[in-house]
Amino acid sequence: MNILMLGAPGSGKGSQAELIENDYGLLQISTGELLRKAVSEKSAEGIRADVYISKGELVPDELVLKLLTERLNDPDCNKGVILDGFPRNVFQAELLDGILEKYRKKIDIVFNIESPFEILKERLLARRMCAKCGKGYNMISNPPKSVYCECGGEIIRRSDDNEATIKNRLDVYLISTKPLINYYEKKEVLVNIDGNRKIPEIYQDVKVTIKKKGY
Ligand code: AMP
């Protein structure tokens, strides 16, 4: 089974993908994570990507695709993947169709997680993460017990979770990513999920859908 998570920044795609990964043994692949890793390693791709990420713009398609295909070639992807943050525009979706066809694979479910933008802005401003293990926190709904994560890593704020960049990321979502709802609706794999609820409640719907689809 392969799953795709759609939704604006802060919609909770990553949190749901993490839960699915644990319960169904699929592998979560977040292009945002792959890019942040490249940035922290100061690779040529990372240095190039950083300029776009810090402005809240999409990183050029060919750069993201390179990182993604490298990852998809790893044998641990054979058990099925949860794509989180890719595709971000119709061109990327078409490229993905081509890649999947080559591997004789398909996307079985596209979860589209929706919440009002005002809520998303609040969530993104309150969002924190562990610099070591990547665990997500939220200063309002899920605050860390101290300035350190349970794993000992430092809890930080993502550099693109600031007001100006958040505004740009939401605009980019509306222009480039939202048309994917229609793209996957036509392929009859789209499932809309109300994201304006607590993480476990949303996950109940996700699990019910996966079961209904026979997985
Ligand atoms: P995310 O962690 O998904 O919120 O992504 C953080 C940032 O990485 C985005 O604002 C983009 O700059 C970049 N990014 C992540 N995925 C993609 C993608 N599929 N295409 C282009 N840029 C991306």
Instruction: Give the CATH number, domain containing residue 18.
Output: 3.40.50.300
From 11, 36, 51, 53, give the residue whose CB has the most ligand 1 atoms within 8 Å, as the site to mutate: 53
Q: Are 127 and 137 in contact (CB under 8 A)?
A: yes
Structure confidence by residue, pLDDT tens digits, 181-203: 999 999 999 999 999 999 999 99
Q: Are 87 and 31 in contact (CB under 8 A)?
A: no
9 lines ligand 1 (CB under 6 A): yes
Q: Which atom of ligand 1 lies at the shortest distance from residue 60's CA?
A: 21
DSSP 144: -
Structure confidence by residue, pLDDT tens digits, 71-86: 999 999 988 999 999 9
Whether residue 124 lies inside any domain: the answer is no
Q: How many folded domains does the chain comprise?
A: 1
Q: Helix H segments across 25-162?
A: 31-41, 44-55, 61-72, 90-102, 117-126
Whether residue 138 lies inside any domain: the answer is no
Which residues are known catalytic residues?
Answer: 13, 88, 127, 158, 169
The pLDDT-based confidence of 53 (bands split at 50, 70, 90) is very high
**What confidence score (pLDDT) does residue 163 get?**
96
From 28, 35, 96, give the residue whose CB has the most ligand 1 atoms within 8 Å, as the site to mutate: 35
173 lines ligand 1 (CB under 6 A): no
Tell me if the pTM is above 0.85.
yes
Stretch 19-41: mean pLDDT: 96
**What confidence score (pLDDT) does residue 103 get?**
84
Structural domain containing residue 50:
3-115+161-212
Quote the ligand 1 centre to 212 CA distance (angstroms): 31
Q: Residue 63, CB half-sphere, CA atoms under 13 Å: how many?
A: 20
Q: Which two tokens stand for residue 56?
A: 């809240």
